[in-house]
Amino acid sequence: MMAELRFDDRVAIVTGAGGGLGRQHALTLAARGCKVVVNDLGGSAHGDGKSSSAADKVVDEIRAMGGEAVANYDSVENGESIVQTALDSFGTVDIVVNNAGILRDVSFAKMSKQDWDLVLKVHLEGSMSVTHAAWPIMREKGYGRIIMTTSAAGLYGNFGQANYCAAKLGLAGLANCLAEEGRSKNIHVNTIAPIAASRLTETIMPPNLLENLKPEAVSPLVAWLCHEKCEETKGIFEVGAGFISKLRWERSQGNSFPLGKAFSVDDVARRWGKITDFTDAEHPSNVNESFSPILDNINNPSLGG
């Protein structure tokens, strides 16, 4: 039988862990022996106000079950001070779960600059700030596990969430780059697109659906991606209500116009069916694979049509 996966002697920072998904991630890691910094600003779902009670409550829950945790009440924009809490309390940081988030949903036509700035600040800049502060420590020790939290809205687009969609897809881009930069230092960076009942979804989903969308069905994936035995990096996963799957880019075979022979807008229109046909599609996973058919076209100027 496989031994239970443990996190003894590991230190995790979970941002926005005072409620919803972050709370569950923190409880799950702590229940397996991880020391956890429970970060939460304790503001409203729209990003107003602050309070220490959200983080304190989760720290109390973890301690009551015999786990180790400390609270941090800084905004994720202050990554240095959140990482400092981990260093002061536990001496290091092995895991960063970037989870904190807010919503300011409004159609693009009515979106103010403030709605845009605040959402990008918390999600994109916040995740960058905490990760950037932990990064040199992870590089130095040759170990790190980082989670970014994106959203189906960001991956696929959603009405009324231009700020959130931009920030969330930005996080997937940040993760893709950091996965490459962290590869040689055993720093793995993965992205989850969760769906769960929380204060962010309770007003937009019907109660019967919310009942079946427990944060408990998301955290096991987060814990696995944060475990030392997990080799996965640069992955993007959709997860909710017991469903877990991996996403990847898909590229059509496309059309190569012969190099050296001019082609026009009419030629593009003529070949549109081929350009957009996903039969025998490829799945490039890095910039070299992306560049490969372009290079083929350069190296074989007479091919194509």
Interacting residue ranges for ligand NAD, rule: CB under 6 A: 15-16, 18-22, 39-43, 45, 47, 54, 75-76, 99-102, 122, 126, 149, 151, 194-196, 198-201
Beta carbon of residue 100, minimum distance to ligand NAD (angstroms, whole number): 4
Nearest to ligand NAD of 138, 172 (CB atom): 172
Beta carbon of residue 266, minimum distance to ligand NAD (angstroms, whole number): 43
Nearest to ligand NAD of 99, 131 (CB atom): 99
- At 213, give phi and psi (nearest 5°): -115, 70
Nearest partner of 105 among 24, 167, 41, 25, judged by Cα:
167
Q: Reply yes or no on whether 164 is catalytic.
A: yes
Q: Where are the beta strands (DSSP E) in 87-186?
A: 95-97, 144-149
Cross-strand partners of 193:
238
Nearest to ligand NAD of 54, 187 (CB atom): 54
CA angle 93, 137, 84 (to 5 degrees): 60
Nearest-CB residue for ligand NAD? 20
Nearest to ligand NAD of 72, 233 (CB atom): 72
Give the integer Cα–Cα distance in Å for 182 and 262: 42
Give the integer Cα–Cα distance in Å for 2 and 200: 37
Bridging pattern class, strands 35-39 and 11-14: parallel
Answer whether 226's CB lies under 8 Å from 28's CB.
no
Beta carbon of residue 201, minimum distance to ligand NAD (angstroms, whole number): 4
Nearest to ligand NAD of 16, 170 (CB atom): 16
Beta carbon of residue 198, minimum distance to ligand NAD (angstroms, whole number): 3
Answer whether 32's CB lies under 8 Å from 54's CB.
no
Catalytic annotation, residues: 164
